[in-house]
Structure 1
Amino acid sequence: MERIYLDHAATTPMHPSVVEKMMEAMANTFGNPSSIHSFGREARHSIDTAREELARSIGAKENEIIFTSGGTEADNMALFGVAEGYQHIGKHIITTKIEHHAVLHACQKLEKLGFEVTYLPVDETGKISLTDLSRELREDTILVSIMYGNNEVGTIQPISEIGQLLKDHQALFHTDAVQAYGIEGIDVNRCGIDLLSVSAHKINGPKGIGFLFSRDHVKLVPRSFGGDQERKRRAGTENLASIIGLHEAVRISGKMQTEKRSAFIEYKEIFIQQLTEQNIEFKLNGILEESLPHVLNLSFPGTNVEAMLVNLDLAGIAVSSGSACTAGSVKPSHVLVAMFGEESERLTNSIRYSFGYNTTKEQIIKAACETAKVVSRLKK
C-alpha cells in the first residue's frame, strides 16, 4: 500500500540535497566558528554565507538574522526580548486568538509577569479586523505580534496593512512566518515588519534550526548568556551542520517557490473537485483566496475527527487536525473556536490536508477518493 504524506504543515521531509550538504559538513567542517585558525574560519565562512542567503530572502541585512533552534525559540526570543527591552515605555502587547502556541503561551507567561495582552478576534475566514487593531492600540503598546499565515486553516493576515498602520506608532511589529516562509514572497521592508520568525523543518530543512529577523534598531534583550555568538544576542556554539542545511533548504525553496505555489493551488482545486463529483458534503474552513496555497482545511458534517484520522491512516493517508486527540476526549482547535465559536460542529469534524514539494497530482486524487470513501462509510 502506498503511503501518502499530506501533513507538510506539521513538518516536511528533508530534501535529499539538504541531507547531502549536512552530511558533508558533519564529516568535514568540524571547526568551532569562534576559533581564529583555518578550521574555525572555514566554519565561520559557511555561517556567514548562510546568513547572507537568509537575509536576502526577506530583504533584510545580514546583521539582522539571528540563528535559533527553530520557530518556537524565535517567537519566544521576539516576545520576551522586546517585552524586557521596552517595558520602561509600556507593558501592553497585542496579538490574536489564532496564534501558534509558541506565541500564545509566551503571552500568557508575560501576563503573569505583569504585562497586559490584548487578544484580537478573527472573523469566520480567520482574518483580524484592522479597525479592531487600530482601536486596541494604546500609548503604552510596545509590541504587536500577528502571524503571517495560519498553520491550521491557511488564512493570510493583511500584513502590509498592519505594517502601514504601525508605521507612526512606537509598537514593534512581529510576525510568526513559520508557515508562510518559503511559499510566500516576504519583504520585511515593504511590509514594515520589525521581527519575523522562521523554522527550517517547514521548508524541507532539518529540525532544530531556524532564525529570527530582528531589525537593527530593535533593542532585543537576550534570553541566553555565555559566549558572544550572534552578536551577543544568543550565546552558544552555532549548530553548523543544521545552519548549512537551512541554507540549502532556503536556496532550493527560493528556486521552487513559483512552481510550488502553482502546483499547490491546482491540488486544492483537484481535491475539492473530486469530493464534489462524489457528492461528499464538506465545508471549507478559511478561504481559498488570500490563503497559504499548501494548506486545505475541510469540515465533514456527520463525521468525527478521531475516526476520520484513524481511518485515513489505515488507508495510507497521513493528515491531521487542529485538535489534540487523547483517549476518549478531544480538545478543540483554538483556531476553529476563534473562527466559529465553542458550539460549532466544525470543532469535531475538521481535517487539515497540507502539501509539499514531493506531493503529486495522483496522490491528491487518491487521497480525495479515500477521503470520500471514509466519509461515506462513517455517515452510514
Structure 2
Amino acid sequence: MMAAMAVTGNASSVHGEGRAARQLAEEAREQVARAVGVIPPRVVFTSGGSEANNLALKGAPVGRLIVSAVEHPSVLEAARASGKPVDLLPVDGQGVADLAVLERLLAAGPRALVSLMRANNETGVIQPLAGAVRLAQAHGALVHSDAVQGLGKIPVNFGLLGVDLMTLSAHKLGGPVGAGALIVRDGVALAPLVHGGGQELRRRAGTENLMALAGFGAVAQARLPDAAALRGQLEAGLDGAMILGGAAPRLPNTLCFAHPGMNAETLLMAFDLEGIAVSSGSACSSGKVAKSHVLAAMGVAPEISTAAIRVSLGWDTTEDHITRFIAAWRNILRRHKARAAA
C-alpha cells in the first residue's frame, strides 16, 4: 500500500501515469480472482462488503428476494430497500438455515435471489450453502453469498460453491478497510448502484482507490493460520459460559458466548479495561449495544442474548493472548459472583 501511494495517475487515463495505475489495479484484481478461483473480469471492486451486498441484492435481475434471518445488516437492510418482495428464511437453534423452508419458499412465486452467508459474523456458524445452491438451481433461482467472514479461514471457491454472486472484503483478513468486491458469475446482468463512469465494466463507476486495492490484492494471497486449536483453548477456559451455536460447524476463529446474569455492555467495558477488544453483536454496529437479530432468530432467551459477547481471533493471535483472555474472564467472573453474593 505504501508503494501504491507513489502511483498518482488515474487508472482510466491513457497516459503513462494512468497506465501504471491501471496495471496496479488489474494486478490486485488478478490476485483477488485467484484467491476465489475465478478469472479477473468476474471481480467487481467496491468500497467494502456493505456496498457489494447492496449491489447484489438491488441489482440482481430477479422478481423477489429470499434472505436468511441471520444475515449481516447490510444484506437485510439492502433487501428491504430494494423494492422487491422479501421472504425471511428461518434458522434453527444453532443458527443454521432451514433448507426445508427454503424449498417451500422457492416453489412459491417468481424467480428469486437467495442470499445465504458463507458463515455468520456473530456466531461463526457455517451455513449449508451447497444444499441451498442445489435447491435454488432446481427452481431457476440465483444465489448470493456474503463470504466476508469466510475468506482466508475456510474454503471459499466461487466455482465449487456454485453461487452466482459472492461478497468479499479485505479487512477481515487483516487488510485495509474500504476495499471489497462482488464476484459475479458470467451471464448475470447487474444494474449498477453507482453511475457516472465506465469503471468495473460499467458495473460500478468511480475512480479506483489504488492503495486499498493494492492492500486487498496482497492480503488475498495469504491464508490465515488455522485458529481452531486456539479457539478450543479459549472455550475450555470460559468457566460457566454458554457457547451459542456451539453444536454447529463454525469458523475456526469466531465464537459467541454468554453467562446468565451478566450484561454485554458491562462485559465490553470490563474487557476493554483489561486491554481486550471484543464486540456485542455485529462489529459494524458495536457503537451501540442492542439486541442481536441473529440470536433472536436462533430463539435465544433475552436474558442470554443481552449477555452475549462475540470474540474473533485475529491473524496474529497467539497462545499468550488466549491465556491473558482467560485470566481476564476469570477476574470478571469472580467480581460478578462477589457482587451477586453481596
Regarding TM over 0.5, the answer is: yes
How do 1:1-380 and structure 2 match up within 5 A?
Answer: 22-27=1-6, 29-82=7-60, 85-86=61-62, 91-110=63-82, 113=83, 115-137=84-106, 138-251=108-221, 253-254=222-223, 257=224, 260-261=225-226, 264-275=227-238, 280-287=239-246, 290-322=249-281, 330-341=289-300, 343-380=301-338
Q: Aligned letter for 1:26? A: M
Shift of 1:325: 7.0
Shift of 1:326: 7.8
Residue type of the partner of 1:366?
R
Which deviates more from structure 2 when the two are superposed, residues 282-291 or residues 226-235? 282-291
Give the aligned partner of residue 7 of structure 1.
Answer: none
* Paired amino acid for 1:305: A
Q: Is the 8 A contact 1:98 1:150 kept in 2?
A: yes
Per-residue Cα deviation, 1:164-215 (whole angstroms, up to 9, x for no partner): 2222322110001111112111111121110001111111111111100011
Equivalent residue letter for 2:45:
F
Contact 1:174 1:196 in 2 (8 A): yes
Query: For the residues of structure 1 that align with 2:299 and 2:271, how far apart are their CA atoms?
Result: 25
Partner AA of 2:331 in structure 1: K
Query: Is the contact between residue 308 and residue 375 of structure 1 (CA under 8 Å) also seen in structure 2?
Result: no
How far residue 293 of structure 1 moved from its aligned partner, in angstroms, is 0.8
Query: Which sections of structure 1, spanning at least 5 residues, go unmatched?
Result: 1-21
Count of aligned residue pairs for this structure pair: 335
Deviates more, 1:118-127 or 1:284-293: 284-293
Q: Is the 8 A contact 1:306 1:325 kept in 2?
A: no
Q: Distance in 2 between matches of 1:315 and 1:53?
A: 38
TM-score of the superposed pair, with normalisation by structure 2: 0.94
SS in 1 for 2:144: strand
Structure 2 CA distance, aligned partners of 1:326 and 1:163? 35
325 and 196 in structure 1: CA distance in 2 versus 1, 3 angstrom threshold: closer
Decide which moves more: 42-51 or 226-235: 42-51
* Preserved contact between residue 233 and residue 322 of structure 2 (Cα < 8 Å): yes
Q: How big is the shift at 1:284?
A: 0.7
Aligned amino acid, residue 115 of structure 2:
S
Give a deviation string over 1:115-148, Cα, whole Å, max 9, x none: 2111011111110111111111134032000111
Paired residue type of 2:41: N
Taking structure 1 as reference, are residues 314 and 43 closer, same or farther at Cα in structure 2, changes over 3 Å only? same
| Distance (whole Å) between structure 1 residues aligned to residue 287 and residue 217 of structure 2 | 37
- Cα deviation 1:247-288 (Å, max 9, x = unaligned): 11112x23xx3xx11xx111111112223xxxx211110126
Measure the CA separation in 2 of the matches of 1:132 and 1:40: 51
**2-structure distance, mates of 1:379, 1:118:** 44
In 2, Cα distance between equivalents of 1:97 and 1:299: 21
Output the CA distance in 2 between the equivalents of 1:25 and 1:150.
Answer: 33
CA shift for structure 1 position 26: 0.5
Shift of 1:37: 2.0
1:40 to 1:348, Cα distance in 2 relative to 1, 3 A: same
Following TM superposition, by how much is the alpha carbon of 1:69 offset from its aligned partner in structure 2, in angstroms? 0.2
Distance in 1, matches of 2:279 and 2:209, equals 30
Q: Distance in 2 between matches of 1:206 and 1:305?
A: 28
Tell me: higher relative CO, structure 1 or 2? Use CA pairs within 8 A at least 6 residues apart.
1
For structure 2, the 5+ residue unaligned runs are: none
Where do 4+ consecutive residues of structure 1 move more than 3 Å? 323-327
Give the structure-1-normalised TM-score: 0.84
Q: Helix, strand or coil for the counterpart of 1:352?
A: strand
Classify 1:202/1:326 alpha carbon distance in 2 versus 1 (closer, same or farther; 3 Å): closer
Distance 1:334 1:289, change over 3 A: closer
Query: 1:337 and 1:173, CA in 2 relative to 1: closer, same or farther beyond 3 A?
Result: same
Q: Secondary structure at the match of 1:197?
A: strand
| Structure 1: distance between partners of 2:286 and 2:204 | 35
User: Matches of 1:34 and 1:348 in 2, distance apart?
Assistant: 49
